Amino acid sequence: MQKDKGIAELADGGDADAQFELGEMYMLGKDVQKNNEEALKWFRLAAAQNHPRAQYALGFMYRDGEGVPSDHKEALKWFRLSAEQGYAGAQFQTGIMYFNGLGLPVDFAEALKWFKLAAEQGNAVAQCNVGFICFEGNGVPQDFEEALKWFKLSAEQGFHSSQCNIGVIYQNGLGVPEDHEEAVRWFKLAAEQGNMFALHNLGKMYQIGVGIEKNTSEALRYMRLSAGAGYGPAKRALGEMFVSGYGNIMDASIAADYLRRSKDPMDKIILLILETSIRMKMPLPPKSKGKATAKRRSPASRGKK
Q: Is the pLDDT of residue 213 over 50?
A: yes
| % of the chain beyond a pLDDT of 70 | 90
Whether 155 is in a domain gets the answer: no
- Residue 10 phi/psi, 5-degree rounding, is -65, -40
Whether 265 is in a domain gets the answer: yes
| Mean pLDDT calculated for residue range 215-240 | 96
Residues 6+ apart with CB under 8 A from 147: 131, 132, 134, 135, 165, 169, 175
pLDDT band at 279 (very low <50, low <70, confident <90, very high): confident
pTM equals 0.84
The per-residue pLDDT for 295 is 45
Residues 6+ apart with CB under 8 A from 82: 52, 53, 55, 56, 59, 89, 90
Least Cα distance to 197 among 221, 172, 167 occurs for 167
- Number of separate domains in the chain: 1
| Mean pLDDT calculated for residue range 206-215 | 96
The per-residue pLDDT for 285 is 57
Whether 139 is in a domain gets the answer: no
Structural domain harbouring 245: 233-282
Whether 156 is in a domain gets the answer: no
CA-to-CA separations, 229 to 202, 223, 234, in angstroms, rounded: 14, 10, 9
CA-to-CA separations, 86 to 121, 182, 204, 273, in angstroms, rounded: 9, 36, 43, 57
Q: Is the pLDDT of residue 178 over 70?
A: yes
Whether 238 is in a domain gets the answer: yes
CB 79 within 8 A of CB 90: yes
Whether 254 is in a domain gets the answer: yes
**Number of C-beta neighbours around residue 124 at 10 A:** 18
Whether 158 is in a domain gets the answer: no
Average pLDDT, the chain: 91
Whether 273 is in a domain gets the answer: yes
